[in-house]
A and B are shown apart, each in its own frame.
Chain A
Amino acid sequence: MIFLDNLINGLSLGSIYAIIALGYTMVYGIAKMLNFAHGDVIMVGGYMAFCGLQYWGVPTVLSLVIAMAVCTVLGVTIEGLAYRPLRQAPGLAVLITAIGMSYLLQNLALMIWGANPKSFPTTFINGSSIRLGSLNISSATVYTILANVIIMVLLTLFTSRTRMGKAMRCVSQDRGAAQLMGINVNRTITVTFAIGSALAAIAGVLLCSSYPILQPTTGSMPGIKAFTAAVFGGIGSIPGAMLGGVLLGVIEIFGKAYISTELGDAIVFAVLIVVLLVRPTGLLGKAVREKV
């Protein structure tokens, strides 16, 4: 029973990591950059939903929509202002810019909302918990896992069936060739950021529904863990991010439950190192042969 309980907790935590990891992996796959500000977009999403519910008194669904809209605009703005001018610059410059953007967002949140932690309304996801014997599954857990599966299916359909999705895959394979084929690379990357940031808003709301403390640094640790998950599953691969996220969540919870609560985070990162030693491209990553 405890095993099942831990498994469900792990799946729930892992699903949140997976949704965040999708943002990392899509941006990496298509724009070939690590957007370290992604975790902080999640935090902004959490705050927007909080404001919607707490200050403006709008219904739950509407506050989620507001959070998604704000994050989408924010993501696209960040991309346009900070990353696009560096498209031809070395990778390191973009990476440092992303880290700077992360601090900028955290400090802006500190200015706007203050350092005092806020408690995310637990009423966001309504509904009583499901009881199976002595097992108690909270509604937030159910919604998180469901949201994860739905997003996964929709994203796969989007990238394989739609015009824009195909354009994304093309840009990911070869940016120059895609441009020659008449694909607007900049627009494709902007759409990628828009989708990634909207997902970040959903992840923010789910994260805060399960772990209801909101502060300017809320997004950073889950962001780093999700980045780990993306690398674990094979960065650039959408199913890889899903698998990596869910596995990482389960490993973290089992590590805490059966090895040591203090070492939870250490175990997560140790697993990453081992996986990268054995499979440098991650679980589902494709090894690209360099032609010399």
Chain B
Amino acid sequence: MKKVLALILALAMSLAVCSAFAEDTVTLRIAHIGPTTGAAALYGLATQHGAEVAAAEINAEGGKYRVELICEDDEHNVEKAINAYNAALDANAQMILGNTTSKPCEAAGAQGYMDRVFFLTPSASSTAVTEDKDNVYQICFSDPNQGAASAEYIASHNLGTRIAIIYNNADVYSTGIRDTFVEKAQEKGLTIVTESTFTDETTDFTVQVGEAKDAGAEIVFLPIYYTPASMILKTASDKGFSPIFFGVDGMDGILDVEGFDTSLAEGVMLLTPFVASSEDENVVKFVNSYKEAYNEIPIQFAADAYDGIYILVKAAEKAGITSEMAYDEVCDLMIAAIQEIEVDGLTGHMTWDSTGAVTKTPMAATIVDGKYVFED
């Protein structure tokens, strides 16, 4: 009886394989790993949903490549990230879209470096994610690169040349961005008129804002999170000081602080690759399908992951990946392929070099009437 059953099963399987070949389609098994539960679930769910929207689109189109998503939860925890990574490989994943957050991505990416698994992370932005590994690629800017990108944006859009910087020198995120900003600003002929610092405990920003005002800054660059930024905006408004405030992704969220007087943030600019209210045709399409499926407005993370699926498919096509290849075979082919492709995604025009960092045009949004709006 057992033998018969086995025979039938084997027959069925070979038929399935045959039929797959008959249609000449390749199914890519992509694992999404991110925190879909726990404190960072907001981000993990966004990337997972973004990836699901892209996979559904690709499968509905019916091209040569199909996407089978394998979703694993890392709970934004380093140990769980390794478990989720192992579970993904057990489920025969060929490549990984993840991890969503930096620390888990550093851990799983290092394991993947040894096992030869290709990683494309939508949103893990620390430099350690790609450092000393050839298998991990980023879709978002790395943290310090946001500084260089900001300086480039300010220079290319002629926003002003006299810049003050207020940053948190107790925080690597802030100092890292500040360093690359200063370097790029000098290269671009921008003048840093004053720099002042604060620490995590600071609540009084009168001195820092006073210095910037006194130095006659046209732009105040704020490579910091939104909590201190909101106090700086308030202090500046009290002092009747209204330069252009320019922030990075840490500024994202300022409009969602409960009770925040959004008129204080009027005209604030921030470096962000994606604005859901944009009128770009592709963005509108994505936002609509996302809203339909999850009844939510997608955040930047969702757009990054949506692009991620398209990038993986394009690179797989270039590399000639087939359904039966194992992850270690896929890895080296993908590494070579991703450096050759160019992708126009929701978050910009992207290329990659062997460091794993992305090169794309920086985009900045301006806050107008309490909403993000793209310039141009």
Contact = CB atoms under 8 A, between A and B. Distances in A.
A213 B227 contact: yes
B206 A9 contact: yes
Contact of A265 (B201, B207, B258): B201
Interface string A221-239: 1100000000000000000
A222 B203 CA distance: 9
Contacts of A214: 259
A212 B230 contact: yes
Given A13-B204, A54-B259, A121-B259, A136 B239 contact: yes
A71 B59 CA distance: 60
A122 B208 CA distance: 20
A117 B257 contact: yes
A5 B201 CA distance: 22
Nearest to A214: B259
Interface string B199-229: 1011110111011001000000000000110
A118 B258 contact: yes
A176 B287 CA distance: 74
A131 interface: yes
Interface stretch (A77-85, A153-161, A178-186, A251-259): A251-259
Contact of B210 (A9, A119, A211): A9
A119 B206 contact: no
Contacts, number: 89
Nearest to B259: A119
B234 interface: yes
Contact of B240 (A123, A131, A212, A222): A131
B294 interface: no
Nearest to B225: A117
A212 B234 contact: yes
A123 B261 contact: yes
A122 B261 contact: yes
Nearest to B200: A221
A6 B210 contact: yes
B197 A261 contact: yes
A2 B227 contact: no
B238 A136 contact: yes
B204 A252 contact: yes
Contacts of A253: 204, 206-207
Interface residues of B, number: 30
Contacts of B234: 122, 211-212
B230 A6 contact: no
Interface residues of A, number: 38
Nearest to A118: B258
A264 interface: yes
A211 B203 contact: yes
A140 B258 contact: no
Given A129-B240, A213-B227, A256 B207 contact: yes
Given A122-B234, A262-B169, A2 B210 contact: yes
B79 to A, nearest CB: 23
B190 interface: no
B204 A211 contact: yes
B238 A138 contact: yes
Given A129-B238, A253-B204, A261-B197, A2 B214 contact: yes
Contacts of B173: none
Contacts of A53: 259
Nearest to A139: B238
B102 interface: no
A205 to B, nearest CB: 14
A212 B231 contact: yes
A9 B204 contact: yes
B27 interface: no
B203 A221 contact: yes
A116 B258 CA distance: 8
A253 B235 CA distance: 14
Contacts of B127: none
A53 B198 CA distance: 30
B155 interface: no
A121 B240 contact: no
B203 A121 contact: no
A212 B234 CA distance: 8
Nearest to B262: A119
Given A140-B238, A253-B207, A257-B210, A117 B199 contact: no
Nearest to B214: A2
B25 interface: no
A50 interface: yes
A120 interface: yes
A247 to B, nearest CB: 16
B259 A50 contact: yes
A261 B207 contact: yes
Give the one of B201, B231, B259 with max A CB within 10 A.
Answer: B259
19 contacts: A2-B214, A9-B204, A9-B210, A13-B204, A13-B206, A117-B227, A119-B259, A122-B237, A122-B261, A138-B239, A212-B231, A213-B227, A215-B227, A221-B203, A252-B204, A253-B206, A256-B207, A262-B199, A265-B199
Interface of A: 2, 5-6, 9, 13, 50, 53-54, 116-123, 129, 131, 136, 138, 140-141, 210-215, 221-222, 252-253, 256-257, 261-262, 264-265
Given A122-B234, A136-B238, 14 more contacts: A5-B210, A9-B210, A116-B257, A121-B259, A211-B203, A211-B204, A213-B203, A213-B230, A214-B259, A253-B207, A256-B207, A257-B207, A262-B198, A265-B201
Among all A-B residue pairs, the 4 with the closest Cβ atoms: A138-B238, A119-B260, A9-B206, A256-B207
